[in-house]
Amino acid sequence: MNVKRPSIKQLEYFLTIARASSFRGAAEQLGLSQPALTMQIATLEEVLGVQLFDRSRAGTLLSPAGRELLPLAREILDHYQQLADLSEQGQQELAGTFRMGVSPTIGPYLLPRVLPELHKRYPLLKLQIQEAIPRQLEQGLAAGDYDLILTVLPMNTGNNRVRPLFSETLRAVFHSDHPLARKPRLLGRDLHQQPVISIDESHHLYRQLLALCDKYGAALLRQAPANTLSSMRLMAMLGMGIAFLPDLFIQAELNQAESLVTRKLEDEEFTRTHIAMWRRNAASRHLFQKLSYEIKAIAFERFGDILVEAQADENQHETW
């Protein structure tokens, strides 16, 4: 009995439209004409006997049948890619094109110093990099928008694999005219009633700052939050309060001409932990494991004086 089955290309087209929520946008990404793409999806719907998309003013949305197909199509393509990896790249070669999501409080200060060496070691490796806040990175990984992400703890790991990369200290940064600038050592109690510059609530750093201020009675400036680390630095330059900034940012962005003072909290381990994360059943998971190891190794080569080995909690250990 000759039974028609969906093709790999048709499933790839289906996933692209699902991500783009638009036939036109998907056609542009795929380099196809919109009529050609529409015809391929019509053929797929005919083979499956269901309608996969609903069109509305909100865009092209998955139908109930489309939502049911989505995880199945993703799994099929993951396994298909695994076969391609085995035949074309080998188990240990870092090659191919992958989509990597990074937090905006990590990527700009880590990757410019890591990627040139990574490219030198693995010239066939291509990374399509997009910045997003941690919640969007987590959602994008689950939806298949990213192959792997670089973010910070805490994170809902779900069915994903996690590799702790490293931890870095968050230091107090304030103007040289600030009263605390005269103190050679900064303690937690020194923060009492001091204004602390906040960041948008979408960042994990916000929750860390909130907990720190609650502990020592500092005044978190929640009414006027910054949206980036650079904005926090500028607010500190204007004498608006204390900014707590990570060491990677401080080393990359601060200079003596800014009249800023940095202090480590001597009696408080105020740090953040960076991780790499990818889907448990990803076809290229062996490559993501190697890639995360290489990123970690190069980061320690470049920033070994300010980074420390990450200690993940019992629910976020690295398992393969």
Residue limits of CATH 1.10.10.10 in the chain: 8-87
* d(C-alpha 145, C-alpha 99), whole Å: 7
pLDDT, residue 281, reads: 84
pLDDT band at 231; cut points 50, 70, 90: very high
Domain at 8-87: CATH code: 1.10.10.10
What average pLDDT does the segment 15-33 reach? 89
Q: Is 242 helix (H, G, I), strand (E, B) or coil?
A: strand
H/E stretch holding 171 reads strand 160-175
* d(C-alpha 106, C-alpha 172), whole Å: 18
Residue limits of CATH 3.40.190.10 in the chain: 94-166+272-308, 168-271
CATH H superfamily, domain 168-271: Periplasmic binding protein-like II (3.40.190.10)
pLDDT digits (tens, 9 = 90+) for 63-98: 999 899 998 888 888 777 766 655 555 445 788 899
Identify the architecture of domain 94-166+272-308 in CATH.
3-Layer(aba) Sandwich (3.40)
pLDDT band at 257; cut points 50, 70, 90: low
pLDDT, residue 320, reads: 34
Name the maximum alpha-carbon separation found in the chain: 85
User: Would you call 148 exposed, middle or buried from its count of C-beta atoms within 10 A (0-12, 13-18, 19+)?
Assistant: buried
| Angle (deg, nearest 10), helices 34-48 and 8-20 | 110
What average pLDDT does the segment 30-45 reach? 90
Please tell me the number of Cα atoms within 13 Å of 312 on its side-chain side. 22
Residue 312 pLDDT > 60, yes or no?
no
How does the average pLDDT of the chain come out, rounded? 88
pLDDT, residue 84, reads: 63
Asked if omega into 116 is within 30° of 0 (cis), the reply is no
pTM for the complete prediction?
A: 0.70
Residue 3 pLDDT > 70, yes or no?
no
pLDDT digits (tens, 9 = 90+) for 193-209: 999 999 999 899 999 99
Residue 150 pLDDT > 90, yes or no?
yes
pLDDT digits (tens, 9 = 90+) for 168-182: 999 999 999 999 999
pLDDT digits (tens, 9 = 90+) for 282-303: 888 889 999 999 999 999 999 9
